[in-house]
Amino acid sequence: MSEVVVRVEDLHKEIEGRKILKGVSFEVREREIFSIIGGSGSGKTSITKHIIGLWKPTSGKVYVFGRDVSELSQAEMDELRKDIGYVFQEGALFDSMSVWENVGFYFLEHTNMSRGEIRKIALEKLKLVDLDEDVLDLMPSELSGGMRKRVSIARAIATNPKLIIYDEPTSGLDPITSRVIDRLILQLRERTGTTAIVVTHDMISAFTISDRLLVLRKGVVVAEGRPEEVINSTDPFVQEFIGSMKECLLHQSKIS
């Protein structure tokens, strides 16, 4: 049995009297692509904030690489963050920095490595997302949406994390570019052996790339399992959520 990378146990989060997460539990295993799907405001991003230790549970536990995140010291937390790559929802590139500086940002900030060395690491990571040296010195404003997304992914993998969290990796992209990013997420798992958590409301993406997925509704897990299990869930919300997409999804999972 492969190792558990993330374990969330009965996670509750309350902010200003509002219950945002109401007893969420799941496990993500090594090399899995695990998606969290659900409507806007259902709590998807909130779950990931607990995994990276940005938020503390109101109650419940979050274990990452076997360690209780809320028990870590600041130094241990910094170590943990190095092992987790986070691809932010909006890409969040620094507009005043070139592509290679964005990708090498961690090393520019936290090490004494020379700019030449960092540029080399950046190129190596850019190649992993199918970009090449032509983009090194471009500014983010010169890139297409799909390229910006690739650069954010290259930045997230710069420190060779064991876990990558993608927050809405295909949002704002056209359908064709979205499928390219899906393929890239799968490729990266092959190339680097990393585990991935993908937060998304793009159901084609979730159902084609995930080993397992979880459906969240207003902070509650309403379905969890392999894509074919979730598609056949009898939960009325899941049926409505997947609804008209079901035929398309069943067809997709056959051809992929």
Where do contacts with Mg ion occur on this chain (CB under 5 A)?
Answer: 45
DSSP 245: G
Containing 53, the helix (H) or strand (E) segment is: none
Of the candidates 73, 82, 16, 15, the one whose C-alpha atom is nearest the C-alpha of residue 45 is 15
CA–CA dist 81, 74 (Å, integer): 10
The one among 11, 24, 42, 62 contacting ligand ADP by CB under 6 A: 42
Q: Which CB, 15 or 160, lies closer to ligand ADP?
A: 15
CB atoms within 10 A of CB 142: 12
Of the candidates 166, 249, 163, the one whose C-alpha atom is nearest the C-alpha of residue 200 is 166
DSSP 142: G
The one among 46, 98, 102, 205 contacting ligand ADP by CB under 6 A: 46
Q: Kindly state whether residue 41 participates in binding ligand ADP, applying the rule CB under 6 A.
A: yes
3-state DSSP helix/strand/coil % of the chain, to nearest 5 = 45, 25, 30
Q: Which CB, 45 or 192, lies closer to Mg ion?
A: 45
Q: Kindly state whether residue 217 participates in binding ligand ADP, applying the rule CB under 6 A.
A: no
Q: Kindly state whether residue 170 participates in binding ligand ADP, applying the rule CB under 6 A.
A: no
Q: Which CB, 44 or 119, lies closer to ligand ADP?
A: 44
Residue 247 C-beta: closest distance to ligand ADP, Å: 26
Question: Binding marks (x or -) toward ligand ADP, 4..23, rule CB under 6 A?
Answer: -----------x----x---
Q: Count of residues binding ligand ADP (CB under 6 A)?
A: 10
What separation in angstroms does the CA of 117 have from each of 81, 97, 230?
22, 17, 46
Residue 178 C-beta: closest distance to ligand ADP, Å: 18
Q: Kindly state whether residue 91 participates in binding ligand ADP, applying the rule CB under 6 A.
A: no
Q: Kindly state whether residue 38 participates in binding ligand ADP, applying the rule CB under 6 A.
A: yes
Q: Which tokens hold the place of 104? A: 């090498």
Residues found near ligand ADP in the complex (CB under 6 A): 15, 20, 38, 40-46
